[in-house]
Amino acid sequence: MKNDLPELAALEALLRDQRHAYLRAPYPSWDTRATHLRALRKLMLDNRDALADAMHADFGNRAKQEVLLAEFVLVKEEIDAALRRGKHWMKAQRRSTNKWLLPARAKVVPQPLGVVGIIVPWNYPVLLAVGPLISALTAGNRAIIKMSELTPRTSALFEQLIGQTFARNHVAVVNGDAALAAAFSAQPFDHLLFTGSTKVGHQVMRAAAEHLTPVTLELGGKSPALIGAHARFDNAVDNLVAGKTLNAGQTCVAPDYVLVPRGKEQAFIERARARMARMYPQFAQNPDYTSIISARHFERLERLADEVRAAGAQLHPLTDATPDAASRRFPPVAVTGAPDDCALMQEEIFGPLLPLVPYDTLDDAIAWINARPRPLALYLYADDARTVERVTHETIAGGMAVNETLMHLACESLPFGGVGASGMGAYHGYEGFVTFSKMKPVLMQSRWNARGLIAPPYGWRVNAVLKVMMRV
């Protein structure tokens, strides 16, 4: 698809059709919403092999097991949780009223927003399309999804499957280039959710501001991992290597650098090499390790490595393999001595390069984290309650996991979202339902009430009431 005038006109017409359909049925029943969720669940499970094969083809290599574990299992669990709890989330919430409003009753009524837009990145195309869609459908909305042009086979198949499952005026997928994505962001949606880089997030928010479209931005940044002084060191390294190498580091919440107790850098490298040998034996031919998505992204990682090496840093390959441009396989590399002002330490890496940053005290580590833009995730390895409490309370991140990497995303009851430079808003679970709802406050007054006692003309009666109100 080219981003020419007919395509833009088609997108605008689709948005109008969905909005008209919403206005004809602005508050779907729970039975209707549950039917849609079950249809989405069936789509995912029935077509998991075909979608995994499409992703493998788009990446050049991506293990089917990794796709199923990292995308399909999470989506299935979230749909099942929405089916269990969504009916309860729909119910009006009673709220208290102050005594001067009695006998009025107050409540908050969740209401669908209307038509929402979802912009999906390339790194987890199914998870990051279907996850927000679950929240949107549970809240009773209609949705238009813009898939990534970097995963053309997955995007085309997903568009086909959605078209076979849902009426186009209910859920639709559009595919096209970055220019279409820019036009998509400028449409007057009732809510827009974008997952991607901080740089593009700025552009999306500016475009959405034209219509005062509320946005949820799931961005990225440099998510730190902190190994405490008394942590189970080998377990921490093993866990970090597994988290960093999932999807070859092409994960928005991948650990971007590791704060290591000073003097333990070499121990980290040795343990990481041993972990890699167990996870990916015969690395160069191992089918479980994901390729980098494109030649451009591969070359960017090479530039980051070359630049930091030229700046005096030491690169420590965690396997005996070397980067291979033909297959776009980039082996994991630990980095020590990286200058703070180099690109590797300033940009989100989004690949298997892992800087190690030594620290002396917990105060130093916390100060290091807080001196940088607020990250999407923070990982702490510690067993003592005091360290966990301090890091939890004294740092700010979109999400946090203790003695674990990435897996807070797998807990569907926890909201997923950024803060500051890593984004705004959240989805998953109840918070996702709220994101795509107008939580409408409603006050219901009784026929018999005291409103007349404080109405003009102001005189002795109002003064007497005011005297009582100010005293009580």
H/E element, 275: helix 265-279
- Neighbouring CB atoms inside 10 A of 409's CB total 20
Question: According to the model, what pLDDT value does residue 2 have?
Answer: 46
Q: Please give the Cα distance from 264 to 357 (Å, whole number).
A: 10
Contact between residue 129 and residue 44 where contact means Cβ atoms under 8 Å apart: no
Cα torsion 185, 189, 194, 197: sign: positive
User: Position of tokens 């085309």?
Assistant: 156
Mean pLDDT of the chain: 96
pLDDT tens-digit map of 171-181: 999 999 888 98
pLDDT-derived band of residue 1, with 50, 70 and 90 as boundaries?
very low
Positions marked catalytic: 218, 252
Residues 22-78: pLDDT tens digits? Answer: 999 999 999 999 999 999 999 999 999 999 999 999 999 999 999 999 999 999 999
Over the stretch 146-189, which tens digit does the pLDDT of each residue have?
A: 999 999 999 999 999 999 999 999 999 999 988 898 999 999 99
Query: What 8-state DSSP symbol labels residue 442?
Result: E
337 pLDDT above the threshold of 80: yes
The answer to whether the peptide bond before residue 457 is cis (omega within 30 degrees of 0) is yes
pLDDT beyond 90 at 325? yes
Helices assigned H by DSSP within 139-264? 152-165, 178-185, 198-209, 233-245
Domain ranges of the chain: 5-219+423-439, 224-417
Specify the CATH number of the domain 5-219+423-439: 3.40.605.10
pLDDT band at 453 (very low <50, low <70, confident <90, very high): confident
What's domain 224-417's superfamily in CATH? Aldehyde Dehydrogenase; Chain A, domain 2 (3.40.309.10)
Residue type, 235: N
Helices (H) then strands (E): counts for the chain? 17, 16
Q: Which amino acid is at 236?
A: A
